[in-house]
Amino acid sequence: MKDQRLAMWSGLGAVLLWSTVATAFKLTLDYYTPLQMLLIACLASVGVLAVLLAGQGQLRAAFRLPARQYVQSLGLGLINPCIYYLLLFGAFDRLPAQEAQPINYTWALVLAYLSVPFLGHRLKGTDILAGLVCYSGVVVIATRGNLADLAFSDPLGVTLAIGSTLVWASYWILATRDRRDPLTGLFLNFLFGLPFIVALTWWQDGLPPLASGGFIGSLYVGLFEMGLAFVLWSRAMKLATNTARVSNLIFISPFLSLVFIYFIVGEVILASTWAGLVLIVAGLWFQQLGARRGATEPAHG
The 10s digit of each residue's pLDDT in 60-88 is 999 999 999 999 999 999 999 999 999 99
The predicted structure's pLDDT at residue 193: 97
Q: Give the range of the structural domain holding residue 232, as residue numbers without chain letter.
A: 4-295
CA angle 170, 18, 126 (to 5 degrees): 50
CA distance 268 to 288: 31
104, 161 contact by CB (below 8 A):
yes
User: Nearest CA to 97 among 160, 25, 153?
Assistant: 25
Q: Could you tell me if residue 301 is inside a domain?
A: no
Residue 127 lies in a domain: yes
Query: For residues 49 and 244, which has the higher predicted lDDT (pLDDT)?
Result: 49
Residue 300 lies in a domain: no
Q: Packing angle between helix 213-220 and helix 34-55, nearest 10 degrees?
A: 40
pLDDT for the residue 48: 94
pLDDT band at 299 (very low <50, low <70, confident <90, very high): very low
68 in any annotated domain? yes
**pLDDT tens per residue across span 106-146:** 888 888 888 888 888 888 888 888 889 998 999 999 888 88
Per-residue confidence (pLDDT) for residue 292, from 0 to 100: 63
* CA torsion through residues 104, 108, 113, 117, sign: positive
> pLDDT tier at 301 (50, 70, 90 boundaries)?
very low
Residues 6+ apart with CB under 8 A from 72: 178
Query: HSE of 20 in the Cβ direction (CA atoms, 13 Å)?
Result: 16
Nearest to 170 by CA among 113, 92, 91, 121: 113
Residue 141, domain member (yes or no): yes
Whether 66 is in a domain gets the answer yes
How does pLDDT run across 152-200, given as a tens digit for each residue?
778 999 999 999 999 999 998 888 888 888 899 999 999 999 999 999 9
Summarised one tens digit per residue, pLDDT across range 258-298 is: 999 999 999 999 999 999 999 999 998 888 776 666 554 33
Residues 14-60: tens digit of each pLDDT: 999 999 999 999 999 999 999 999 999 999 999 999 999 999 999 99
Q: Could you give the number of structural domains in the chain? A: 1
Q: What are phi and psi of 205, to 5 degrees?
A: -120, -15
Class of residue 172 by CB neighbours under 10 A (exposed 0-12, middle 13-18, buried 19+):
middle
